[in-house]
Amino acid sequence: MSLPPQKRRHKAKISKAKLRNSLYLVLYTLFLSACSQYDIKVNEQLVYVAKKTFTDFKVTDPNLQTCIDQTLKDQNATSASSLTRLACTSAGIIDLEGLRAFPQLQHLSLHSNHITSLSELATLSELRELNVADNALVDASGILSLLKLEKVDLRNNPILECRELIQLQSFTQVELLSPKQCDGNT
């Protein structure tokens, strides 16, 4: 048994209204997600304030600063503690001063730069993986206090002295990739 024409038209109107409302909801959701990085005003009233990227830090090396800025932006990081992974390879970095502002770093890759010292890393107590291969390291003593280290890559640091590496291996279970001059000493 079919519905009378009047009821069919009424049912079609309801279906069109539901479809239109669903479409509005989808468009509104897309609009908000696309604009999540912007403050939104309606009739000059602020109705949404975007989370701001964390910028309250300063490092001395401009190349490190650029890398951190880009990483924070890419990850939409809103605090120093939200940065747990940082990769700044082949960036021309010389100095790590200021990196202590990110105490929750767990993975740090600084491969192929011009870094000579790791002393600035001494306060990064959550660090688990560190790649500083292909640098100009002279001093690695900064990582001796990092008890959570699981893997350290120090290969191709030809002037690095081996005594810190021997110490590091004596009290941790770290997987250590040593420079050639330290092979057999650690």
**What predicted TM-score, i.e. pTM, was given to this entire model?**
0.72
Low-confidence ranges of the chain (pLDDT < 50): none
Q: What does the pLDDT read at residue 113?
A: 98
Q: What does the pLDDT read at residue 54?
A: 73
Q: What does the pLDDT read at residue 153?
A: 97
Structural domain spans, the chain: 5-48, 62-182
Structural contact between residues 64 and 92, judged by C-beta atoms closer than 8 angstroms:
no
Q: What does the pLDDT read at residue 170?
A: 78
Q: What does the pLDDT read at residue 167?
A: 84
Q: What does the pLDDT read at residue 71?
A: 94
Q: What does the pLDDT read at residue 31?
A: 60
Q: Which residue has the tokens 């350290």?
A: 152
Q: Is the dihedral of CA 13, 15, 21, 24 positive or negative?
A: negative
Structural contact between residues 73 and 52, judged by C-beta atoms closer than 8 angstroms:
no
In CATH, what number does 62-182 get? 3.80.10.10
Residue 76 CB contacts under 8 Å (≥ 6 apart), including other chains: 37, 51, 53
User: In degrees, to the nearest 5, what angle opens at C-alpha 94 toward C-alphas 92 and 100?
Assistant: 115
Q: What does the pLDDT read at residue 47?
A: 63
